[in-house]
C-alpha cells in the first residue's frame, strides 16, 4: 500500500483507503453537508420571518464627508443636509467588504486579538480554498470531466502547481494554528480579561442560572479548530515520513518539519503508514463533523458575523427606525416584528464581550449587559423557531427570561426584564465596540416602545412624559417661561419669528429651565452677543427636541414635539441652527431631516471654534491644563471631537486627554431618558467613575460641553470627594473668562497673544 516515491511531485488522493472506505467517506460527507444546509435553511427561514427593510447590500457608494450639498440621501432615503461618513452616511458595499476582509472592526481597540483573528480568518479561508481545489481536481476534473469524457481520470494536482499549493497553504495552516493557539491561550486565562470574558449575567434571575454550556461551547469550538489544524499537519508529516522524504516535499515546509519531528520521536516509515490511516479518519471526521456543527453553534459566526458586517448601518442608531407600525404594534412583541437585519444581529454575536466591557449601565451595577440582551433574545428566537443549538444556551431551573413561554408572557418585560431595558443610557458604546456590526440600541428602543405602550414605566418617567406632552418640557414648567432666563441679560436676543437671524439657537430644556444651567446659557448669550454674530431664539415656541423622548420609546410624543418644532422653524427666518444640548443636536441633525428640516445643524462648540479662529472673540491665553469630556451624542454619535479641542487650543489651554476619549468616551449616565429615572440603585454612578478617571490626570479643570454633563459632573465631583481640587466648567465659561478678563485683546489663534 505504500505509494512509491515518484520523481514527479504529487500525491495520491485517498492513498490508503479501500473503495468501501471511500464510499463511506462520501456518504458521511453527504450527510454532513445535508445537515449543514438544513441548519442554514432553518436559519434563513428565521431571518425571512423578520420584516424586510430592503437589501442594504445593494446600496450606492456613500457620499463623501464633504462637498455634498442638501438632498444627499442618508438613512432610510431621507434627505440629510449634511452627510458625514460614519455618522449618517449609509456605508457602501466596497467599504463594508474591505472592513470584513481586513478584520478592521475586530482589530479596532484590540490589536492582539484582532491580529490573531485575522490570521485565523485568512488561514482558514486559505485552507477552504485548498480543500476546494483538491475537490475540483479529484471530483470534478478527475471523475466527472475527464473520467466521463475521456474514460481516464486526469489531474492537475501535480508538478509545480502541487509544490506551490503546498508551500502556500502550509503557510495558511500555520497562520491559522498560530492564531487559534493565541486565542486558546487567552481563553484559558479568561480571568485576566475581566469583565470581557466573564459570562456572569448583569441581570440576575431569582432562581439562578447556569452558563456552563456557553463555556463548554467555546472550548469545543476553539478545541476543534486547533485539533483540525494539528492533525492536518501531522497527517502531512506522516505522508512525507512514510514516503521516505522525497526532496520535492520540502515545499510542504510545515509538513516536512512535522515529519522530521515524527522520525525524531521514533516514528519511522512503517509506523507512519499504520498511524496515517487512523489519524486521517480522525482528521476527516472532525472536519465533516465541523461542517455539520457549524450552523448550530458559535461557529456560525463565520457566516453570520461576516454577513452582518456587510449589512450593518451605523446611521440606524443615530436616526432610529420607526415602530413596526404595519403590524399595528407600537413596539416589538413577537419575532416577526424584528427586521431581518436584527435577527441576523442575534446570530452574529460571538459573545466576545466588548459591549459588556464598555457598557456604563453594566459598569454601574445595573441589570443591563448588551451581550446578555443579545444572547437572551437569540435563545428566545431559537426557541420560537424550534432551532436547537449545540452547547450554546443558558440553563435555568425555571422557565424565565429567554425560556419564558406561553400566553401572558411579554417579550419586553418578561423575556427581557423591564429594569434591564430601562437601564440603557443609549450611549452607543456597545454599537461602537461591536466588531460584527450588531446594533443593540435600536432593538432596545423598539422593546422600550412596547413597554411604553403597555404603560410600564417608573413614576418619575411617567411624570416627565406627561409634562412633555402638556407643556413641551420635562420640568413641568409653563411653556411660556422657556425664555425667562434671558430677562437677566442687559440686551435682548432677537426673536427669530420676527426678524432674520443667521443662527437660530435651539437652547433645549435643561439650559432653559434648570436654574443651575441658566447662567451658562446667559454666558453663552453674552459671548455670542459680544462677537457680533447674528443669532436668535424661538422663545416660547421652542419645545423639547424629542431626542430622549424617542429613545425612551414614546414615539407618538416624539412626533408631536417634532411637528411643533418644525412649525416653529417654518414661521421663523434663519440660515442655520445650533444647539446647546448634544442630544438635541443629534435628533435635529440626523432625525429631523426625515420630517422635512433642511437646515444645517451645528453644536455651540462648533460655532465657538469658528468665531475664535476668525478672531470675532478676542481672548487672552488662559494657560490652564484641563481635561475634556466628550458627550456621547457629540463625540461618539456625531464625531464632533475637534471643535471643542479647537476652542480649548484657541484659549491657550493644554488638553490632557482622558484615557477614554472621542468616539471611545464614557457616558455620564444621563442619556436615553435616564435623566428622568431613578439612579439610586446603582452601585456607582457612571459620572462618578468618570470623575475618578479624570482625577488620575492631575488636572484641576474638567471641561464639559453639554448641560446635562454640567449637572451630572457637578454632583459627581462632590459625591466622590474631588470638589476641593477639581472644578467642572462648561467650555463657554472658559471662553468667557478668557474674553472678559483684563488684558483680553488681539486675535486668538493657535498662537497665544501675550497680554
Residues engaged in binding other proteins (CB under 8 A): 330, 452-453, 455, 457, 459, 462, 465-466, 469-471, 476-480, 554-557, 559-560
Nearer to other proteins, 250 or 477 (CB): 477
Count CB atoms within 10 A of the CB of residue 3. Answer: 14
Phi/psi at 543 (5° precision): -125, 165
Contact 42/387 with Cβ under 8 angstroms? Answer: yes
Residue 383 Cα distances to 341, 388, 389, angstroms: 19, 8, 10
Nearer to other proteins, 117 or 448 (CB): 448
Please report how close the Cβ of residue 561 comes to other proteins at its closest, in angstroms.
9
Nearer to other proteins, 465 or 647 (CB): 465
d(CA 403, CA 385): 13
Contact 214/392 with Cβ under 8 angstroms? Answer: yes
Please report how close the Cβ of residue 117 comes to other proteins at its closest, in angstroms.
44
Taking each helix axis from N to C end, the angle separating 731-740 and 642-650, rounded to the nearest 10 degrees, works out to 20
Contact 20/309 with Cβ under 8 angstroms? Answer: no
Contact 1/242 with Cβ under 8 angstroms? Answer: no
Nearer to other proteins, 476 or 623 (CB): 476
Nearer to other proteins, 510 or 602 (CB): 510
d(CA 708, CA 710): 5
Please report how close the Cβ of residue 607 comes to other proteins at its closest, in angstroms.
32
Please report how close the Cβ of residue 419 comes to other proteins at its closest, in angstroms.
17
Nearer to other proteins, 330 or 390 (CB): 330
What's the number of CA atoms in the CB half-sphere (13 Å) around residue 627? 25
Contacts 24+ apart (CB under 8 A), 208-214: 208/396, 208/397, 209/394, 209/395, 209/396, 209/401, 210/394, 210/395, 210/396, 211/394, 212/395, 213/391, 213/392, 213/393, 213/394, 213/395, 214/351, 214/391, 214/392, 214/393, 214/394
Residue 359 Cα distances to 68, 263, 416, angstroms: 34, 53, 17
Please report how close the Cβ of residue 467 comes to other proteins at its closest, in angstroms.
9
Residue 329 Cα distances to 326, 336, 440, 628, angstroms: 7, 11, 20, 42
Nearer to other proteins, 391 or 465 (CB): 465
Please report how close the Cβ of residue 448 comes to other proteins at its closest, in angstroms.
11
Please report how close the Cβ of residue 323 comes to other proteins at its closest, in angstroms.
8
Nearer to other proteins, 293 or 513 (CB): 513
Nearer to other proteins, 392 or 555 (CB): 555
Nearer to other proteins, 453 or 709 (CB): 453
Please report how close the Cβ of residue 458 comes to other proteins at its closest, in angstroms.
10
Nearer to other proteins, 429 or 538 (CB): 538
Please report how close the Cβ of residue 453 comes to other proteins at its closest, in angstroms.
5
- Provide the 8-state DSSP code for 579: E
d(CA 55, CA 341): 10
Locate 740 and state its grid cell: 472678559
Please report how close the Cβ of residue 328 comes to other proteins at its closest, in angstroms.
10
Locate 189 and state its grid cell: 486565562
Q: What is the largest CA-CA distance in the chain?
A: 102
d(CA 617, CA 606): 14
Nearer to other proteins, 105 or 565 (CB): 565
> Could you give the angle at the alpha carbon of 468 between the alpha carbons of 482 and 729, nearest 5°?
55
Please report how close the Cβ of residue 332 comes to other proteins at its closest, in angstroms.
15
Nearer to other proteins, 5 or 476 (CB): 476
Q: Which of 585, 577, 582, 589 is nearest to 535 (CA)?
A: 577
Please report how close the Cβ of residue 692 comes to other proteins at its closest, in angstroms.
37
- Provide the 8-state DSSP code for 550: H
Nearer to other proteins, 400 or 454 (CB): 454
Phi/psi at 652 (5° precision): 70, 30
Please report how close the Cβ of residue 559 comes to other proteins at its closest, in angstroms.
8
Please report how close the Cβ of residue 472 comes to other proteins at its closest, in angstroms.
10
Q: Write the Ramachandran bin of 428: left for phi over 0, alpha for psi from -120 to 50, otherwise beta.
A: left
Locate 361 and state its grid cell: 449601565
Locate 626 and state its grid cell: 484641563
Please report how close the Cβ of residue 466 comes to other proteins at its closest, in angstroms.
7
Beta bridge partners of 39: none
Nearer to other proteins, 459 or 532 (CB): 459
Amino acid at each position: 500500500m505504500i505509494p512509491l516515491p515518484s520523481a514527479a511531485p504529487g500525491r495520491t488522493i485517498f492513498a490508503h483507503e479501500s473503495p468501501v472506505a471511500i464510499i463511506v467517506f462520501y456518504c458521511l460527507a453527504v450527510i454532513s453537508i445535508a445537515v449543514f444546509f438544513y441548519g442554514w435553511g432553518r436559519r434563513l427561514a428565521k431571518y425571512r420571518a423578520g420584516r424586510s427593510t430592503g437589501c442594504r447590500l445593494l446600496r450606492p457608494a456613500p457620499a463623501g464627508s464633504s462637498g455634498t450639498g442638501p438632498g444627499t440621501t442618508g438613512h432610510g432615503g431621507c434627505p440629510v443636509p449634511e452627510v458625514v461618513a460614519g455618522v449618517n452616511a449609509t456605508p457602501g458595499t466596497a467599504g463594508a467588504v474591505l472592513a470584513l476582509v481586513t478584520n478592521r472592526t475586530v482589530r479596532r481597540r484590540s490589536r492582539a486579538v484582532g491580529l490573531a483573528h485575522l490570521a485565523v480568518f485568512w488561514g482558514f479561508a486559505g485552507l477552504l480554498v485548498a480543500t476546494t481545489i483538491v475537490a475540483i481536481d479529484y471530483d470534478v476534473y478527475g471523475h466527472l470531466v475527464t473520467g466521463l469524457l475521456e474514460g481516464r481520470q486526469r489531474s492537475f494536482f501535480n508538478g509545480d502547481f502541487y509544490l506551490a499549493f503546498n508551500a502556500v497553504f502550509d503557510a495558511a495552516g500555520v497562520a491559522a494554528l498560530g492564531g487559534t493557539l493565541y486565542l486558546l491561550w487567552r481563553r484559558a486565562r479568561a480571568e485576566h480579561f475581566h469583565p470581557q470574558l466573564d459570562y456572569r449575567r448583569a441581570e440576575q434571575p431569582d432562581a439562578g442560572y447556569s452558563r456552563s454550556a456557553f463555556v463548554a461551547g467555546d472550548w469545543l469550538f476553539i478545541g476543534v479548530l486547533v485539533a483540525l489544524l494539528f492533525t492536518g499537519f501531522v497527517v502531512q508529516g506522516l505522508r512525507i515520513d512514510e514516503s521516505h522524504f522525497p526532496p520535492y516535499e520540502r515545499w510542504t515546509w510545515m509538513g516536512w518539519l512535522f515529519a522530521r519531528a515524527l522520525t525524531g520521536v521514533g516514528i519511522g516509515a512503517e509506523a507512519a503508514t499504520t498511524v496515517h490511516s487512523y489519524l486521517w479518519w480522525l482528521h476527516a471526521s472532525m472536519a465533516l463533523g465541523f461542517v455539520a456543527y457549524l450552523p448550530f453553534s458559535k461557529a456560525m459566526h463565520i457566516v453570520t458575523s461576516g454577513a452582518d458586517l456587510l449589512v450593518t448601518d451605523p446611521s440606524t442608531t443615530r436616526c432610529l427606525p420607526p415602530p413596526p407600525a404595519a403590524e399595528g404594534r407600537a413596539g416589538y412583541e413577537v419575532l416577526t416584528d424584528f427586521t431581518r437585519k436584527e435577527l441576523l444581529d442575534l446570530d452574529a454575536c460571538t459573545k466576545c464581550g466588548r459591549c459588556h466591557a464598555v457598557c456604563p449601565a453594566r459598569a454601574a451595577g445595573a441589570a443591563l449587559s448588551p451581550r446578555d440582551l443579545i444572547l437572551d433574545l437569540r435563545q428566545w428566537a431559537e426557541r420560537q423557531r424550534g432551532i436547537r443549538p449545540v452547547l450554546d444556551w443558558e440553563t435555568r431551573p425555571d422557565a424565565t427570561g429567554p425560556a419564558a413561554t406561553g400566553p401572558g408572557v411579554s417579550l419586553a418585560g418578561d423575556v427581557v426584564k423591564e429594569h434591564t431595558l430601562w437601564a440603557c443610557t443609549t450611549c452607543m458604546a456597545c454599537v461602537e465596540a461591536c466588531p460584527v456590526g450588531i446594533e443593540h440600541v435600536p432593538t432596545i428602543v423598539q422593546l422600550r416602545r412596547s413597554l411604553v405602550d403597555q404603560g410600564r414605566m417608573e413614576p418619575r418617567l411617567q411624570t416627565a412624559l406627561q409634562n412633555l406632552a402638556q407643556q413641551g418640557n420635562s420640568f413641568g414648567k409653563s411653556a411660556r417661561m422657556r425664555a425667562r432666563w434671558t430677562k437677566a441679560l442687559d440686551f435682548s436676543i432677537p426673536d427669530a419669528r420676527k426678524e432674520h437671524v443667521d443662527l437660530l439657537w435651539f437652547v433645549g430644556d435643561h439650559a432653559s429651565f434648570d436654574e443651575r444651567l441658566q447662567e451658562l446659557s446667559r454666558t453663552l448669550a453674552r459671548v455670542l452677543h459680544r462677537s457680533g454674530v447674528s443669532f436668535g431664539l424661538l422663545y416660547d415656541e421652542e419645545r423639547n427636541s424629542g431626542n430622549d423622548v424617542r429613545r425612551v420609546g414614546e414615539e407618538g410624543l416624539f412626533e408631536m414635539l417634532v411637528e411643533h418644532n418644525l412649525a416653529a422653524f417654518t414661521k421663523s427666518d434663519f440660515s442655520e441652527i445650533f444647539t446647546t444640548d448634544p442630544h438635541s443636536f443629534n435628533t435635529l441633525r440626523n432625525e429631523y431631516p426625515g420630517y422635512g428640516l433642511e437646515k444645517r445643524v451645528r453644536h455651540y462648540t462648533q460655532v465657538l471654534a469658528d468665531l475664535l479662529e476668525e478672531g470675532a472673540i478676542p481672548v487672552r491665553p488662559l494657560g490652564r491644563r484641563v481635561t475634556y469630556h466628550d458627550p456621547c451624542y457629540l463625540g461618539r454619535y456625531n464625531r464632533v471631537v475637534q471643535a471643542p479641542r479647537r476652542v480649548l487650543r484657541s484659549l491657550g489651554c493644554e488638553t490632557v486627554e482622558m484615557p477614554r476619549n472621542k468616539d471611545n468616551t464614557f457616558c455620564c449616565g444621563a442619556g436615553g431618558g435616564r435623566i428622568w429615572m431613578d439612579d439610586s440603585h446603582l452601585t456607582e454612578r457612571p459620572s462618578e467613575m468618570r470623575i475618578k478617571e479624570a482625577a488620575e490626570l492631575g488636572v484641576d479643570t474638567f471641561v464639559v460641553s453639554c448641560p446635562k454633563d454640567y449637572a451630572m459632573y457637578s454632583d459627581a465631583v462632590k459625591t466622590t470627594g474631588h470638589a476641593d481640587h477639581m472644578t467642572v466648567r462648561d467650555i463657554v465659561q472658559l471662553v468667557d473668562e478668557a474674553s472678559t478678563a483684563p488684558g483680553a485683546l488681539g486675535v486668538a489663534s493657535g498662537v497665544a497673544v501675550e497680554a
